[in-house]
Amino acid sequence: MLTFVLRRLLLAVPVLLGVVFVVMLTIDLLPGDVVALMLGEHATKDAVATLREHLGLDKPFIVRYLEYVARVARGDLGRSIQQNRPVAAELADAWPATLELTVAALLIATVAGITAGVASAVWPNSFFDAVARLGSLFGLSMPIFWTGLVLIVVFSLWLNWLPVGGAGSLNHLVLPAITLALPSVAMVSRMTRSAVLDVLREDYVRTARAKGVGELWVLGRHALRNAFIPILTLLGLQSGQLMGGAVLTETVFAWPGLGRLMVKAIFARDYILLQGAVLVFALAFVIVNLLVDLSYGLLDPRIGRQG
Amino acid sequence: MNAWSRFRRNRLALVGLVLVVVLAVSAALAPWLAPYDPARQSLVEKRTKPGAKYVLGADEFGRDILSRVIYGSRVALLVGVLSALIAVAGGLLLGTVAGFVGGWLDAVLMRGIEILLAFPYLLLALAIVAALGTGALNTTIAVGIWGVPTVTRIVRGSVLALRETEYVGAARALGAPVTALLRRHILPNILPSLIVYATLFMANAILLEAALSFLGLGVQPPTASWGLMVSTGRDVLLVAPHVATVPGLAIMVAVLAFNLVGDGLRDALDPRLRGSA
């Protein structure tokens, strides 16, 4: 078990190195001059050269990449250009809010998506099934930032039930979490429906029914348990979607998380902060998918842990 | 039964097709369909509610929202089509190279592709836009790059499978150049998957363009882009909700249209996948 976890974490290292490489390279390919843009158009040539040297931008790309990786390995993410604070501190301030938001959204997506999907599969082609499938089509087509604004109009402006934005209480969490969850609810319910439908056609389900097992037991013990593996894989992949969506949701609801920090970093051309934020997102994605892989073994004893 | 008659029996797909045609027509005929100039400002009429003069209301600068939504279809479709072309062209190139050359080049390319696929797409697009800068063209490139990995995988898989077949082996032995192999043997095989992927990709491309423009990192004002319109409407959301919500509806309809057509095409062109999520 432990060796499996360690091996998977080691395998994640090249992925993270690759992500940093891609991000740094894209920033490096910038046609404009970052330093000149940061200082504004009235900066002297000397000032630009000094800042460039200060930021280490006068060195070749590969050198800068290796230096950055070496520093990150020692736990040093550098200093944010705009705030002149350690990037690690900026990220530490922001990530709990994003974690809270994405976990809440993942919970909603899991519970609502699986419930709707199972109901659709148990009563296929019923009225509920039609509504749920149409709903999931819309869920996949709605731009997440727009859903957020519509929810604000309905629940904050018209009904006056929930706050417009900001963070701090459970009430603040409701609308952003639902907004972020909706596309995932749609994906999960689609996936659950087809997975449960597939399992319900299996011989062992027929056997269970034939020997008089109650329908609820068949569903819970046989169908859902077996359908859970593809659903779980999807949830792992959805966590990546949720991180992307968090950038938009946080912007709409003024949620003080990593996503908003990242957008701010882009506008400020604070590429050191941007690299740090991207790295945290990539790390989170790797960890979530490791957890998903680990839970396969818990759900299905046939899947060994030899990895 | 051929693909078209299978497609035609799918009512939702037909609804999608009609919507796509409406979009294409509104993009092509925007100057004749739009009741007003999309850039015409009328500050005394700012935030006018939907009514007789402005069917969908007016925005913060008193610009007609209906006209801007009609012109916005041009941006959405253009970014969608061009980014799909970038994705297909890039994927064809990389997939063919990876599949035919093989060896370490294949290994390096595919690891790189896996990294790109493992990464939340919006974050990647943000990084690309941060590098390239904003604007319609850069947005298209950022969106297009996002589609390259999947197309590469489709193409490479097909190249690897067909490379081993006798007829491709024979064609190579006779000295057929790679481009001929690609055109005569590989492309016809992957065309259905590519068409389906490109259609569904367009739906996501429109969403991504809207998201980037909403963040202020995509298409820049005063161009009428739906995502940008939602973004400007957001500032007056609590006094004039229609300014932000109406353009968002257009995004949803466009995305829904391409999703429906894509699902229908998948069922029609590749019956093996029928009913799968």
- Write out pLDDT tens, residues A185-242: 998 898 888 888 888 888 888 888 888 877 787 777 777 777 777 788 788 777 878 8
Residue A147 confidence (pLDDT) above 80: yes
CB B65 within 8 A of CB B71: no
Q: Where are the alpha helices (DSSP H) in B119-275?
A: 121-132, 136-163, 166-173, 178-181, 187-214, 226-234, 242-269
When pLDDT is cut at 50, 70 and 90, the band that residue A29 belongs to is low
Residue B109: closest CA among chain A residues belongs to which residue? A18
Residue B141 confidence (pLDDT) above 50: yes
Residue B265 confidence (pLDDT) above 60: yes
Contact A150 B245 (CB under 8 A): yes
Contact A141 B130 (CB under 8 A): no
When pLDDT is cut at 50, 70 and 90, the band that residue A304 belongs to is low
Residue B85 confidence (pLDDT) above 90: yes
- Within 10 angstroms of residue A163's Cβ, the number of other Cβ atoms is 18
CB B99 within 8 A of CB B106: yes
Q: Find the mean pLDDT for residues A167-190.
A: 86
Crossing angle, helix A225-253 and helix A258-267, to 10 degrees? 50
The answer, for B101 touching chain A at a CB cutoff of 8 Å, is: no
Residue A15 confidence (pLDDT) above 80: no
Closest Cα in chain B, distance from residue A69 (Å): 17
The answer, for B215 touching chain A at a CB cutoff of 8 Å, is: yes
When pLDDT is cut at 50, 70 and 90, the band that residue B87 belongs to is very high
Mean pLDDT of chain A: 81
Whole-prediction pTM value?
0.83
Angle, alpha carbons A98-A104-A108 (nearest 5°): 145
When pLDDT is cut at 50, 70 and 90, the band that residue B277 belongs to is very low
pLDDT of residue A303: 63
Residue B260: closest CA among chain A residues belongs to which residue? A137
**Lookup: tokens for B165:** 């077949």
Q: Which amino acid makes up residue B15?
A: V
Closest Cα in chain B, distance from residue A247 (Å): 8
Contacts across the A-B interface (CB distance below 8 Å): 144
Residue B28 confidence (pLDDT) above 60: yes
- Classified as helix, coil or strand, B80 is helix
Residue B208 confidence (pLDDT) above 80: yes
When pLDDT is cut at 50, 70 and 90, the band that residue A289 belongs to is confident
pLDDT of residue A205: 80
Contact A266 B129 (CB under 8 A): yes
**Lookup: tokens for B108:** 């390096």
Contact B275 A194 (CB under 8 A): yes
DSSP letter string over B143-162? HHHHHHHHHHHHHHHHHHHH
**Top mean-pLDDT range of A146-150, A201-205, A224-228, B99-103:** A146-150
pLDDT of residue B255: 92
Q: Find the mean pLDDT for residues B37-58.
A: 72
Contact B252 A18 (CB under 8 A): no
Helix (H) / strand (E) element for B218: namely none
- All residues at 6 or more sequence positions from B231 whose CB lies less than 8 Å from its CB, including other chains: B213, B214, B215, B216, B244
Interface mutation target, options A29, A131, A146, chain B, most CBs of B under 10 Å: A146
pLDDT of residue B258: 92
**Lookup: tokens for A285:** 């994605």
pLDDT of residue B256: 92
pLDDT of residue A200: 80
Q: Find the mean pLDDT for residues B72-84.
A: 90
Contact A281 B120 (CB under 8 A): yes
Residue A307 confidence (pLDDT) above 50: no
Interface mutation target, options A38, A61, A106, A141, chain B, most CBs of B under 10 Å: A141
Residue listed under structure tokens 């999608």: B16
When pLDDT is cut at 50, 70 and 90, the band that residue B254 belongs to is very high
Task: Name the residue with higher pLDDT: A238 or B258.
Answer: B258
Q: Which residues pair with B64 in a beta bridge?
A: B58
CB A81 within 8 A of CB A56: no
When pLDDT is cut at 50, 70 and 90, the band that residue A36 belongs to is low
Residue A140: closest CA among chain B residues belongs to which residue? B256
Crossing angle, helix B121-132 and helix B136-163, to 10 degrees? 130
Residue B257: closest CA among chain A residues belongs to which residue? A141
Residue B164 confidence (pLDDT) above 90: no
Chain B CB contacts of A241 under 8 Å are: 120
The answer, for B129 touching chain A at a CB cutoff of 8 Å, is: yes
Contact A262 B211 (CB under 8 A): no
Please choose, from the candidates B122, B152, B143, B155, the residue with its C-alpha nearest in 3D space to the C-alpha of residue B202.
B143
Chain A CB contacts of B13 under 8 Å are: none
Residue A79 confidence (pLDDT) above 70: yes
CB B187 within 8 A of CB B257: no
For the ranges A92-96, A287-291, B54-58, B107-111, the lowest mean pLDDT is seen at B54-58
- State the Cα–Cα distance between residues A28 and A61, nearest whole angstrom: 7
3-state secondary structure chain A: CHHHHHHHHHHHHHHHHHHHHHHHHHHHCCCCCHHHHHHCCCCCHHHHHHHHHHCCCCCCHHHHHHHHHHHHHCCCCCECCCCCCEHHHHHHHHHHHHHHHHHHHHHHHHHHHHHHHHHHHHCCCCHHHHHHHHHHHHHHHCCHHHHHHHHHHHHHHHCCCCCCCCCCCHHHHHHHHHHHHHHHHHHHHHHHHHHHHHHHCCHHHHHHHHCCCCHHHHHHHHHHHHHHHHHHHHHHHHHHHHHHHHHHHHHHHCCCCHHHHHHHHHHCCCHHHHHHHHHHHHHHHHHHHHHHHHHHHHHCCCCCCCC
Chain A CB contacts of B238 under 8 Å are: 157, 164
Q: What end-to-end distance do the CA atoms of chain B give, in Å?
A: 23
For the ranges A100-114, A128-142, B42-56, the lowest mean pLDDT is seen at B42-56
Residue A142: closest CA among chain B residues belongs to which residue? B252
Per-residue pLDDT reduced to its tens digit, B168-181:
888 888 888 878 87
- Classified as helix, coil or strand, B111 is helix
When pLDDT is cut at 50, 70 and 90, the band that residue B272 belongs to is low
Contact B130 A150 (CB under 8 A): no
Contact B112 A243 (CB under 8 A): no
pLDDT of residue A306: 47
